[in-house]
Amino acid sequence: MISRLDHVALTCRDVQVSAAWYSATLGMHVEFPGAWEGNPVFLTIGTARLALFHARAPETVVTRPALRVDHFALLAAKYDDFEAVRERLSSRGIPAEFQDHELSHSVYIKDPDGHVVEITTYDVAGR
């Protein structure tokens, strides 16, 4: 039986630049340092994982497909955590679009490769 989503795989122009951005922006950290010769780089925070792949592996001519995920969402369980993320983004000058979805509140940001990252909370009563 499936218990949860394990990771989302993203293609990146520069995996190290993207890994540094996710670390600085969202507090994610490398989970398996040095594994797979750096392709992919696995990042984690809580139970959320990202696998960052080079768009073109240096030793091959294989290019990952251009089709992409529309966006992926990371959960802030408490509204205070959601607000802390918003403050962190603001303090770093990262543009974030807020949306009130009635049942949830979200902010949308873009990573260095243009992937849309949603930070969401369903704890809207906690505000």
Q: What is the mean pLDDT of the chain?
A: 87
- For residue 114, the 8-state DSSP code is -
Residue ranges and CATH numbers for the domains of the chain are 1-58 (3.10.180.10), 70-127 (3.10.180.10)
pLDDT at 2: 61
State how far the alpha carbon of 51 is from the alpha carbons of 11, 34, 67, 108, in Å.
8, 13, 17, 20
pLDDT in tens, 24-79: 999 999 999 888 888 889 999 999 999 998 886 555 555 556 656 778 999 999 99
How does residue 117 score in pLDDT terms, banded at 50, 70 and 90?
very high
- Which ranges constitute the DSSP H helices of 34-127? 79-91
| pLDDT value at 102 more than 60 | yes
> b vs e for 20-41, b when ≥16 Cβ sit within 10 Å of the residue's Cβ?
ebbeebbebebeeeeeeeeebb
At residue 82 the predicted structure's pLDDT band, cuts being 50, 70 and 90, is very high
| pLDDT > 70: percent of the chain | 87
pTM flag (> 0.85)? no
